Amino acid sequence: MARKPPIGPVHMAFERTSLRIAFSDIQPLRLVGAAVKKTTKYAQIAASIRNVGIIEPPVVARDRSDPGKYLLLDGHLRIEILKEMGEMAAACLIATDDEAFTYNKRINRIAIVQEHKMILMAIKDGVPEERIASALNVNVDYIRRKRALLEGICPEVVEMLQDKHVPVNTFDELKKMRPIRQIEAAQLMVAMNKYSITYAKSLVGATSPSQLIDRSRRKRINGLTDDQITLMEEESAKLDREFRLIEQSYGTDHLDLVVITGFLDRLLGNARVTRYLGQHYIELLTEFQKIASTNKAMG
């Protein structure tokens, strides 16, 4: 039996110690615009920093063309918030390369089911609901609603949606259906990549009374007649059957899309490439960023 070649040395991704760096010595790879600062995500990060502090230090790489300067790979929002708070510097991790795609900005934001589990864990550990609400920049009633998020949701649906970004109100609609129908609805949501409250309501509207928790309450959807509701139920069942046939060829097409956009993401994650495109081909860089952003929104 042939011996396997020895594994080469593993290089460290970061320098051994962090370094407190002035913001004036850090060059961001992108600007944080006014529209971003109005988002819920930005407000939540700001609230978390004010209440808890910086949990994950920003990641920078030494600028090879300008000693003493650094390229910001991850932490654009955190540093912008610190600047607004009057801070002039922050402790940073020093990466040994400038490949931005390897760091936290490529990790998807936390899904609602995971957030629910973290809230339960924090409450179990004795953290007051008020403090959790303050750190997340929401009111206490919202935390209590998140705590009861999965009550009435069957385990199979929880597993299917645990890494999806599903609105809270969508779970309220799922709770109106019996477990078997919940599973069917969740499968359609995942297949269509649609989790909105509007889509969830349409699934409830297309559900027969026998599959609803409250059979006695007759469905009324925007003034639709009984015949129209019955037609919706029939069309929903037909759509379900047709979609399962289409799903068989969907995998190959989706794989091609993932490979192509994955290469594009990696290209844009290289700080040197991004800087070069920004200096010489700004229109091309803008289009690449649009494609990458669209792909993230779809995924």
Residue 100 shares a structural domain with residue 121: no
| CA-based nearest residue to 14, from 51, 56, 52, 59 | 59
Residue 70 has what DSSP assignment? E
Per-residue pLDDT, averaged over 75-85, amounts to 93
Residue 136 shares a structural domain with residue 100: no
Kindly state whether residue 64 falls inside one of the protein's structural domains.
Answer: yes
pLDDT in tens, 138-153: 788 888 888 889 999 9
Higher pLDDT, 240 or 15: 15
210 vs 200: CA distance, rounded Å: 18
Residue 91 shares a structural domain with residue 131: no
Kindly state whether residue 259 falls inside one of the protein's structural domains.
Answer: yes
Among residues 149, 177, 204, the one where a domain terminates is 149
Kindly state whether residue 185 falls inside one of the protein's structural domains.
Answer: no
Give the CATH number for residue 41.
3.90.1530.10
Kindly state whether residue 131 falls inside one of the protein's structural domains.
Answer: yes
Among residues 51, 78, 106, the one where a domain terminates is 106
Q: Which pLDDT band holds residue 174 (cuts at 50, 70, 90)?
A: very high
Kindly state whether residue 118 falls inside one of the protein's structural domains.
Answer: yes
Residue ranges making up the domain that contains 58: 19-106
169 vs 151: CA distance, rounded Å: 13
pLDDT in tens, 229-240: 666 666 666 666
Percent of the chain with pLDDT over 90: 21
Kindly state whether residue 168 falls inside one of the protein's structural domains.
Answer: no
Residue 51 shares a structural domain with residue 98: yes
Higher pLDDT, 177 or 228: 177
Kindly state whether residue 278 falls inside one of the protein's structural domains.
Answer: yes
Residue 34 shares a structural domain with residue 72: yes
Higher pLDDT, 292 or 103: 292
Residue 76 shares a structural domain with residue 23: yes
Residue 63 shares a structural domain with residue 91: yes
Residue 76 shares a structural domain with residue 115: no
In the prediction, which pLDDT does 242 show?
67
pLDDT higher than 80, residue 47: yes
Residue 23 shares a structural domain with residue 90: yes
Residue 98 shares a structural domain with residue 122: no
Residue 34 shares a structural domain with residue 76: yes
| CA-based nearest residue to 205, from 245, 186, 177, 180 | 177
130 vs 118: CA distance, rounded Å: 15
pLDDT in tens, 244-299: 666 666 667 777 777 778 888 888 888 888 888 888 888 888 888 877 776 555 55
Kindly state whether residue 239 falls inside one of the protein's structural domains.
Answer: no
In the prediction, which pLDDT does 107 show?
47
| CA-based nearest residue to 190, from 163, 150, 151 | 163
Among residues 96, 124, 149, the one where a domain terminates is 149
Strands, sheet with 89-95, edge to edge from the N-terminal-most edge strand: 19-22, 89-95, 59-62, 70-74, 26-28
Per-residue pLDDT, averaged over 61-89, amounts to 91
Q: Is the whole-model pTM more than 0.85?
A: no
Q: Which pLDDT band holds residue 137 (cuts at 50, 70, 90)?
A: confident
Tokens coding 260: 């192509």
Tokens coding 29: 């790879």
Residue 33 shares a structural domain with residue 94: yes
Task: Provide the domain count of the chain.
Answer: 3
pLDDT higher than 70, residue 82: yes
